[in-house]
Structure 1
Amino acid sequence: MNPRKEALNILFEVFINNKFSNKLLNNLIKKEAMSKEDIAFIFKLVYGTIQYKIYLEYVVNKVINQDKTDFKIQILLWMNLYQIKFLRSKPYYVINEAVEIAKEINVNLSGLVNKVSKLLVNENLWEVDIKNSQNVFPLENGFPFWLFKKIEKEYSKDSAIDFVKQSNQESKISLRLNTLKIDQQEFESKYLDKYNLTKSGLVDYFYLTDKNIVSEEIFKNGFVTIQDQTSGFASYILNPKKDTKVLDMCSAPGGKLTHLAQIMNNTGKIDAYEIQENKIRLIEENILRLGIKNVNLKCLDALEIEEKKYNYILLDAPCSGYGVIRQKPEIKLKKRSEKEENDLLILQEKLLEKAYKCLESESELLYSTCTINKKENEDQVERFLTKHDDLEKVYERVFFGKEFDNDGFYICKMKKL
């Protein structure tokens, strides 16, 4: 099986059919014919080409007619440029492989791939030469100008620059220790060195590693689960007490849910809801693997939840997802329409109102998103608070990704008086 051809097919699905690369790539692990080295290369090639797609397309379009070139051939050329410029692969080998792949697409286009790929070796061609000087840095980093300006306007230019830089950094795997199954001291003595773990600077029992641990005993036995630090920080800040009633309104994929159960030491009761039926099984698998016993999970739209009263509510709301661009780089390639943006804001607002109706006195609500967008975050919360004078904000924080080698994230904790 040809790794570059496999990468090309995945990229085609991403760009043409709007598939998520992480799901397509995870399917590779199940293919026994693929070596670990080949899979690692495909991951790097796919993610890299998507991350820098805006830049790669800009450079390649200097030497082709975009409107007259087969789209799969264009993707192949983007891949070639990414390998030559960013991976520093040997051009001769990259070009030869691409020509053979092109023959399978259309033998008449192999000459074009050979000619253009040789031109792409010229580093002078790599320079960004555009009239809009403000767009040079974003374009060089494959980042959409509209999103760069949005972050700059809402926060600062430095924040926008930092976020762009972080979005292209290779991320480590973030793990949460499951203290329901193993003591932290025992865990560290057995596994800290074995898996080259470094402790998180955000939450004490989170760790970072560069090793894939899904097939390892610490994962299978439920000693750890994969969860970004900021995602875990949401449950950590809500911090529900033992033997309390908790509501998790939008539960998938279950990281925050199982973390809440862990914090409560499997006591009390958590009512958890997820609207997508296909994600229920994933949550159930995590609950079983981690030994969670205090969760009542249902497949139901959170807006249809029975308005019972809870001590703690977690609303990890549907959002634009800009904060997880490093994990899902294709997010930055599609700008939402004004209607799509407004529909999302309305949904978030409705979910917050539903959460309010389920709060009892002295109870707490944590609202979180995995996006960097004031309309969905700070502005959404401020509008919510103006409607309810019996609520007060007790904690708020925006993460831009550079703080602890984490994803972008927003957290706001409110308390009902």
Structure 2
Amino acid sequence: MSARKEALRILFEVFKNNKFSNKLLSNLKQTTAMSKEDIAFVFKLVYGTIQYKIYLEYVVNKIIDSNKTDLKIQILLWMNLYQLKFLKAKAYYVINEAVDIAKSINKNYSGLVNKVSKILEDENIWEVKIKNKQNVFPLENGFPFWLYKKIENDYSKEQAQQFILHSNIESKISLRLNTLKISLEDFEKKYFEKYKLEKSQLIEYFYLSNKNIINQEIFLEGYVTVQDQMSGYASYILAPKENSKVLDMCSAPGGKLTHLAQIMKNTGKIHAYELQENKIHLIKQNLSRLGVKNVILECKNALEIEEEKYDFILLDAPCSGYGVIRQKPEIKLKKYSEQENEELVLLQSKLLEKAYNCTNKGTEILYSTCTINKKENEEQINNFLLKHKDIEKIYEKVFFGNEYDNDGFYICKMKRI
């Protein structure tokens, strides 16, 4: 199985059928038909082509008529340019294999692929020359101008540019130590050097790694779980006490949920809800693997739950996801309509109201999103606080991803007084 041909197949599913590359690539890990090196190359080629798609398309369209060229051929040319410019691959191998792949799609395109690919070797054609000078930097980095301007308007030009640069840096795997099964001292003594771990600068029992550990002993035995540092920081900031009653309103995939249980040392009760039935099985697997025993899990819309009173409430709300572009670069290729934006903000608002109805005096609420969008974050919370004068803000922070080699994230902790 050709690595480049497999990358093309996955990219076609992403661009044509709006599939998520991380899910398609996860399936690829299960195959025995490709070497680990080839699978790693497919990952790099797929993510890189998606990350820079806006730029790659701009350059390729200088040469071809996109309206008259098969989409698969266009994607193949984007892949070629990515390899030539960003991977510094030898043109001979890139072009020869691309021509062979083109023949398998439609032999009539092989000549076009050969001709265009040779033109793409010329670095002069890589230059961005557009009238809108504000868009040169975003376009060179494969970032949509509309999202760049949104971040700039919400925060600053410098912050927007830093976010763009960071979004194209390959991320390390973030791991949370599960102290329900092993102590920090024992874990570090046995596994720190073995897996070449790097300590997180944010939370003591989080680690960064360049190694895939999904099929390794430390993962299978439940000693660690894969969780972004910012996702873990949300539960860390909520800090539910032992023997307390906790509500997790939107639980999948279970990272924050199992972290809450860990913080509570498996005491008290966590009522967890997840709307999507297909994710319940994944959450149960994580609960079992990590030895979590204080969770009551239900497949139910959080807006429809009975309004019991809780000591701590976690609302990790559905959001636009701009903060995790580094992990899911497809997100930046979809621009939500005004109606979609309004519906999303309204849903978040309704979930916050449901959370409020589950509070007593002293209840603490943690609202988080994995996006960088003031309407979904700061403005959403400000509106909530205006409506409820008995809620005070304890902590609020926007993370842009470059602080601790993390994803973009928003966290706000509140308390009913």
Shared fold, TM over 0.5: yes
User: In the alignment, what sits opposite 2:54?
Assistant: 54
User: In the alignment, what sits opposite 2:184?
Assistant: 184
> Once the two structures are superposed, what CA deviation does each residue of 1:175-194 show, in whole Å capped at 9, x if it has no partner?
00000000001101111111
> Once the two structures are superposed, what CA deviation does each residue of 1:147-200 show, in whole Å capped at 9, x if it has no partner?
001000100111101100000000000000000000001101111111110110
> In the alignment, does 2:237 pair up with 1:237?
yes
> In the alignment, does 2:132 pair up with 1:122?
no
Task: Tell me the SS of whatever aligns to 2:240.
Answer: coil
Task: Tell me the SS of whatever aligns to 1:247.
Answer: strand
Q: What is the alpha-carbon distance in structure 2 between the residues aligned to residue 136 and residue 186 of structure 1?
A: 51
Q: What is the alpha-carbon distance in structure 1 between the residues aligned to residue 204 and residue 153 of structure 2?
A: 34
Alignment map for 1:259-274 (pairs within 5 Å): 259-274=259-274
Q: What is the alpha-carbon distance in structure 2 between the residues aligned to residue 125 and residue 194 of structure 1?
A: 46
Q: What is the alpha-carbon distance in structure 1 between the residues aligned to residue 39 and residue 194 of structure 2?
A: 23
User: In the alignment, what sits opposite 2:404?
Assistant: 404
Structure 2 unaligned runs (5+)?
none
User: In the alignment, what sits opposite 2:172?
Assistant: 172
Task: Tell me the SS of whatever aligns to 2:260.
Answer: helix
Q: What is the alpha-carbon distance in structure 2 between the residues aligned to residue 12 and residue 329 of structure 1?
A: 15
Task: Tell me the SS of whatever aligns to 2:40.
Answer: helix
User: In the alignment, what sits opposite 2:81?
Assistant: 81
Structure 1 unaligned runs (5+)?
none
> In the alignment, does 2:400 pair up with 1:387?
no
One-letter identity of the residue aligned with 2:111: G
Alignment map for 1:9-88 (pairs within 5 Å): 9-88=9-88
> Once the two structures are superposed, what CA deviation does each residue of 1:208-249 show, in whole Å capped at 9, x if it has no partner?
000000010000000000000000000000000000000000
1:106 CA displacement = 0.1
User: In the alignment, what sits opposite 2:146?
Assistant: 146
> Once the two structures are superposed, what CA deviation does each residue of 1:26-62 show, in whole Å capped at 9, x if it has no partner?
0001111111111100000000000000000000000
Q: What is the alpha-carbon distance in structure 2 between the residues aligned to residue 35 and residue 225 of structure 1?
A: 25
> Once the two structures are superposed, what CA deviation does each residue of 1:44-90 show, in whole Å capped at 9, x if it has no partner?
00000000000000000000011111111000000000001000100
> Once the two structures are superposed, what CA deviation does each residue of 1:251-295 show, in whole Å capped at 9, x if it has no partner?
000000000000000000000000000000000000000000000
Task: Tell me the SS of whatever aligns to 1:215.
Answer: coil
Q: What is the alpha-carbon distance in structure 1 between the residues aligned to residue 291 and residue 234 of structure 2?
A: 21
User: In the alignment, what sits opposite 1:290?
Assistant: 290
Q: What is the alpha-carbon distance in structure 1 between the residues aligned to residue 359 and residue 365 of structure 2?
A: 8
User: In the alignment, what sits opposite 2:107?
Assistant: 107
User: TM-score scaled to structure 1, two decimals?
Assistant: 1.00
> Once the two structures are superposed, what CA deviation does each residue of 1:310-334 show, in whole Å capped at 9, x if it has no partner?
0000000000000000000000001
Q: What is the alpha-carbon distance in structure 1 between the residues aligned to residue 373 and residue 120 of structure 2?
A: 36
Q: What is the alpha-carbon distance in structure 2 between the residues aligned to residue 337 and residue 368 of structure 1?
A: 23
Alignment map for 1:225-374 (pairs within 5 Å): 225-374=225-374
User: In the alignment, what sits opposite 2:211?
Assistant: 211
User: In the alignment, what sits opposite 1:193?
Assistant: 193
Q: What is the alpha-carbon distance in structure 2 between the residues aligned to residue 276 and residue 105 of structure 1?
A: 37
Task: Tell me the SS of whatever aligns to 1:298.
Answer: strand
Task: Tell me the SS of whatever aligns to 2:19.
Answer: coil
Structure 1 segments of 4 or more deviating over 2 A?
none
Task: Tell me the SS of whatever aligns to 1:203.
Answer: coil
Task: Tell me the SS of whatever aligns to 1:279.
Answer: helix
Task: Tell me the SS of whatever aligns to 1:109.
Answer: helix
Q: What is the alpha-carbon distance in structure 1 between the residues aligned to residue 165 and residue 90 of structure 2?
A: 26
Identity, in percent, stands at 73
Task: Tell me the SS of whatever aligns to 2:212.
Answer: coil
Task: Tell me the SS of whatever aligns to 2:201.
Answer: coil
One-letter identity of the residue aligned with 1:407: D
Q: What is the alpha-carbon distance in structure 2 between the residues aligned to residue 124 and residue 94 of structure 1?
A: 19
User: TM-score scaled to structure 2, two decimals?
Assistant: 1.00
One-letter identity of the residue aligned with 2:296: N
Q: What is the alpha-carbon distance in structure 2 between the residues aligned to residue 48 and residue 88 of structure 1?
A: 13
CA RMSD after TM alignment: 0.4
> Once the two structures are superposed, what CA deviation does each residue of 1:68-118 show, in whole Å capped at 9, x if it has no partner?
111110000000000010001000000000000000000010000000000
1:360 CA displacement = 1.0
Q: What is the alpha-carbon distance in structure 2 between the residues aligned to residue 209 and residue 163 of structure 1?
A: 22
Task: Tell me the SS of whatever aligns to 1:285.
Answer: helix
Q: What is the alpha-carbon distance in structure 2 between the residues aligned to residue 329 and residue 111 of structure 1?
A: 31
> Once the two structures are superposed, what CA deviation does each residue of 1:359-388 show, in whole Å capped at 9, x if it has no partner?
111010000000000000000000000000
Task: Tell me the SS of whatever aligns to 1:405.
Answer: coil
Q: What is the alpha-carbon distance in structure 2 between the residues aligned to residue 399 and residue 201 of structure 1?
A: 14
Task: Tell me the SS of whatever aligns to 1:208.
Answer: strand
